[in-house]
Amino acid sequence: MLLTQRGDSVLGLVRNPDHVTELGHLGVTAEVAELEAADASRLADRLSGVDAAVFAAGAGPGSGAERKDTVDRGASVLLAEACQQAGIRRFVQVSSMGTRSPNPPDVDPVFGAYLDAKRAAEQDLRERDLDWTILRPGRLTDDPPTGRVMLGTEVARDAVTRADVAEVLAALLAERRTAGMALELVNGDVPVTEAVGAAVE
Ligand SMILES: NC(=O)c1ccc[n+]([C@@H]2O[C@H](COP(=O)([O-])OP(=O)(O)OC[C@H]3O[C@@H](n4cnc5c(N)ncnc54)[C@H](OP(=O)(O)O)[C@@H]3O)[C@@H](O)[C@H]2O)c1
């Protein structure tokens, strides 16, 4: 909604067909795409006219190590490859806090697989000739937006609302000078626009 409100045309790729109508009500053109079973060149064909992409899919809670790999790594790699084939240079990837350092020895195995998948997705993106930005949020909550965050290459672990992540993603899409950066994000004291501006100073 943040994107359509500012006049962007948005194509949403969703797995669940029920979400097509829901997104339609927000002014978003939605198409069903099963990113664990898609082909990069066919996906590239569907991205005609798109000038920037956000990868925000995830295997989600309750999924095992295998789906961390097929979604959190594999689907990001697939979308990045499709973007490259379609000539879409701008790519913002939702990764996760915790990828900056190695997994602690006592990490839960599935959470460890999740962080490994996110690191591999980040590495894949770094090796591509794209204008990529990696966003690493802390623990996501469904609390109301605060509009205030802490954004930087290293920030202390904390939570951040999904709504605030969305606002940061919208701002990052429009701020190409963040290309080549990996930024951690939690809720904080700085208004989103100011925080994104400060990241490129
Ligand atoms: N939750 C956290 O605390 C946290 C913290 C840091 C980073 N993140 C990252 O932030 C992003 C959003 O996380 P979230 O917890 O809000 O959501 P999520 O449960 O990780 O999933 C986000 C979306 O991914 C979609 N998805 C799953 N498999 C798919 C597939 N094969 N093809 C297409 N779409 C697929 C899901 O579709 P369905 O609706 O059909 O299931 C869901 O709508 C993820 O990348 C996650 O890793 C999460």
Assess contact for 152 and 184: CB atoms under 8 A.
yes
Cβ neighbors of 42 (< 8 A, separation 6 or more) are none
pLDDT above 90: residue 109: yes
Q: pLDDT by residue (tens digit) across 110-137?
A: 999 999 999 999 999 999 999 999 999 9
Q: Is the minimum distance from the CB of 72 to ligand 1 under 6 angstroms?
A: yes
CA 186–ligand 1 middle distance (angstroms): 18
Q: What is the CATH number of domain 33-199?
A: 3.40.50.720
Does the beta carbon of 159 lie inside 6 Å of ligand 1? no
Instruction: Say if ligand 1 is within 6 A of residue 139 CB.
Output: yes
Cβ partners under 8 Å of residue 185, min gap 6: 97, 135, 136, 137, 138, 149, 150, 151, 155, 160, 164, 165, 168
Q: Is the CB of 63 under 6 A from ligand 1?
A: no
Range(s) within the chain of domains with CATH label 3.40.50.720: 33-199
Ligand 1 centroid to Cα of residue 20, in Å, is 16
pLDDT (0 to 100) of residue 29:
97
What is the predicted pLDDT for the residue at 4? Answer: 95
168 lines ligand 1 (CB under 6 A): no
Neighbours of 109 (CB within 10 A): 10
pLDDT at 1: 86
Number of the ligand 1 atom closest to the C-alpha atom of 58? 20
Residue nearest to atom 42 of ligand 1 (CA): 57
- Please compute the mean of the pLDDT values over residues 75-89 and round it to a whole number: 98
